[in-house]
Amino acid sequence: MREHRQDTRSRIQDVALDLFTEQGYEATSLREIAERLGVTKAALYYHFKSKDEIVTSFMEDRAATLERLVAWGQAEPRTDEMRREFVRRYAAELTEGRHYRVMRFLERNQTALRDHPKSERVREVMYSVFELLSEADDPLPLRIKSSLALFAMHATWFIAPEQDYSDEEREGAALQVALELVDAVAADRQPTG
């Protein structure tokens, strides 16, 4: 939830995140961000050293949160119930703060962020997330299903965008599908129960 009163630094982050996601990082100029805030480009440079550093500032938070969640998962036994609880926690955190918007920004600017250090950090920790949901000897179809569980939680926005589902409905349905997928993978691993 965005605060009603924010300092300038935080307002720059919010406007930039929205514009970068909507139009793309490269297609969004600092002039546009400044204009929407009612200031000039030069003012932005008081708060951030560069355009790149605006991105860094909100990616850092996402990377740290994901790393904490992965640390929790790695300390737990690798059971089916751990995986269910992991997915629940992942979904819950995604709805807090700027996390969902940052993931959407990342997905839609994969190429522009290809060599960005923070982007690589998020990609690496997402790979650890994927590893947590997988077993070493899972065949490829099971790996794909585990990945789709993660993707389901990120992608609610592109499902039936014209229909008026509430955010809560979308989040709930996405979590349900994600849990069904990890359950299906668990069942596939032990066909005899």
Partner DNA sequence: GTCTATAGCGCGATAGAC
Partner DNA sequence: GTCTATCGCGCTATAGAC
Choosing from 40, 74, 79, 176, the residue that interacts with DNA (CB under 7 A) is 40
| Stretch of residues binding its own copies (CB under 8 A), selected from 5-13, 25-33, 53-61, 89-97 | 25-33
What is the b/e burial string over 77-97, where b = at least 16 CB atoms within 10 angstroms of the residue's CB? eeeeebbeebbeebbebbeee
For the chain, the distance separating the N- and C-terminal CA atoms, rounded to the nearest angstrom, is 43
Q: Could you say whether residue 187 binds its own copies (CB under 8 A)? A: no
Q: Could you say whether residue 152 binds its own copies (CB under 8 A)? A: yes
CB of 159 to its own copies, least distance (A): 5
Nearer to its own copies, 47 or 143 (CB): 143
Residue 12 makes CB contacts below 8 A (sequence gap 6+) with 33, 37, 44, 47, 48, 54
Q: 56 to 95, contacts with its own copies by CB under 8 A?
A: none
Taking alpha carbons only, the member of 97, 121, 119, 116 closest to residue 107 is 119
Contact positions vs its own copies (CB under 8 A): 21-27, 108-112, 114, 139-141, 143-145, 147-148, 151-152, 155-156, 158-160, 165, 169-170, 173-174, 176-177, 180, 184
